[in-house]
Structure 1
Amino acid sequence: MIVIPAIDLKDGQCVRLRQGEMEDATVFSDDPVATAEHWLGQGAKRLHIVDLNGAFAGNPVNGDAVNAIARQFPQFPIQIGGGIRDLKTIEWYLEAGVSWTIIGTAAVKNPKLVKEACREFEGHIIVGLDAKDGLVATEGWAEVSDVQATELAKQFQDCGVSAIVYTDIARDGMMQGVNLESTMDLARAVQIPIIASGGVSCIEDIEQLLKAGDDKTEIFGAITGRAIYEDKLDLRKAQELCDNWTK
């Protein structure tokens, strides 16, 4: 499993939200490139970036910051989400040097886009499923649909999706631990690699995810944000735990 540091961009700054509320943001840095460099130096194997403004606007807003990070660290794998609603936006990010684009809201409202994107940009598409009580939320978590996360995930089983980022909204930014049950339910429902997100707050959360896996079902990655910014989780030690983990 890989531990993936998150950079959430709001108005060009690196922030963390609580339960997706834009008004409840804590600013950690005004230099996204320096922040990316820091996590790279801590042994990160991949970076998770979210354009928070873009998620609400429906189109990229912090694209310049993402572009700057990708240019500065061309060998650093990056996955980007937030406001990706069409093939043109996906192409722009991939040309900028991003490795994977995350389709979230559009995956719920326009599942055909995911299938088209997987055909057009094979190996570069991740689906983002953000759920509350098992139901998928959209529009930067402002709306909760009547679609079950596991059922939506199954629609993409044979599309060529590289991974699914599964976020429990109720846990995100709250430092309350991972929703292990729902995350593992999703991992068992599909053959697509699952990246857990929301609530990763300490080394014990990483250990829980590792212990929950078996020969057939393992969590591919875990995204962490507030915990590493507030020094509640040591990124380097967390990744070393994953690298050396044996059942």
Structure 2
Amino acid sequence: MQFRPCIDLHEGKVKQIVGSSLRDGDNSATVNFESKQSAADFAGLYRQEHLTGGHVIKLGPGNDEAAAEALSGWPGGLQIGGGITADNAMKYLEMGASHVIVTSYVFKDGQVNFENLDKLFKVVGKERLVLDLSCKKKGDDYFIVTDRWQKFTDTRINKATLEKLAKYCDEFLVHAASVEGLMAGPDLELVSLLAHHSPVPVTYAGGIASIEDIEAVRKAGDSRVHITIGSALDIFGGSLAFKDVVSSCKAG
């Protein structure tokens, strides 16, 4: 299990926001934390700790300069997402991203757009593409959700879906939308499902707030599921020590 750090960018600043609060019209959002440090500073920290596979997420417009600074600060060490399309993906790879993360270009309006996915696949190749499979539980199943996690698709997160989508990408990034940002514990049922059925590496996000939570994910995921943590970390205003998370994951 690896710790995959994050750099979330909003209006050019490193922030932690409530994901579902982001509005397209005026780009407003409910902000949990805003750092005085730059995106490049965080990239340097992650590089110092030899943490690869972390992700830079551009939340709305006005983040290109900060994103470029982050990618140049840890060349090949960070993935990037936010507004990625077949037309701009190569630009970010050339700027130093190891992978591009795609969300709304493929998952939008309650649908999975396989035409766009195929376009992106042909441009960047499987080995440099990450699919963000944000999901929520409905009934007994998890479904991919789109549009700020407000719309359910009819696509279940199960063995068949993961195997089908894995043909297009190198990794999955999975946000447990129902627990994301609440710091009230991870969705261990989802973690277990991912561990048992994903044919490619997967990073889980959502609810991790303590070392005990990390150990619970390690156990539920058979040490196969990587983690990312946002608002709970002390570097983002939380109480969970970044250094302790790094040590805990490296120990496992």
Instruction: Give TM-score scaled by structure 1 length.
Output: 0.84
1:192 equivalenced with 2:193 (yes/no):
no
Question: How far 1:45 sits from its partner (Å)?
Answer: 3.1
1:155 equivalenced with 2:164 (yes/no):
yes
Moved over 6 A (4+): none
- In the other structure, the counterpart of 2:58 is 51
Q: CA RMSD in A?
A: 2.2
Gaps of 5+ in 2: 23-28
Question: How far 1:179 sits from its partner (Å)?
Answer: 0.7
1:113 equivalenced with 2:116 (yes/no):
yes
- In the other structure, the counterpart of 1:146 is 154
The partner residue of 2:244 within 212, 220, 237 is 237
Q: Deviations over 1:74-108 (max 9, x none)?
A: 25x11111222x21221111111111111112333
Gaps of 5+ in 1: 55-60
Residues 63 and 149 (structure 1), Cα distance of their counterparts in 2 relative to 1, 3 Å cut: farther
Contact 2:12 2:64 in 1 (8 A): no
Distance in 2 of aligned mates of 1:112 and 1:192 = 22
Contact 2:43 2:71 in 1 (8 A): no
Question: How far 1:50 sits from its partner (Å)?
Answer: 1.1
Instruction: Give TM-score scaled by structure 2 length.
Output: 0.82
Q: Deviations over 1:166-195 (max 9, x none)?
A: 101121111012111112213322312111
**Identity of matched residues, %:** 23
The partner residue of 1:126 within 127, 130, 151 is 130
Q: Deviations over 1:218-247 (max 9, x none)?
A: 21x2011111123422233223222222xx
- In the other structure, the counterpart of 2:25 is none
- In the other structure, the counterpart of 1:211 is 219
- In the other structure, the counterpart of 2:179 is 171
Distance in 2 of aligned mates of 1:210 and 1:114 = 31
- Number of positions where the alignment pairs a residue of Structure 1 with one of Structure 2: 233
Contact 1:9 1:62 in 2 (8 A): yes
Distance in 1 of aligned mates of 2:219 and 2:191 = 13
Contact 1:169 1:198 in 2 (8 A): yes
Contact 1:53 1:62 in 2 (8 A): yes
Secondary structure of 1:208's aligned partner: helix
Distance in 2 of aligned mates of 1:34 and 1:4 = 16
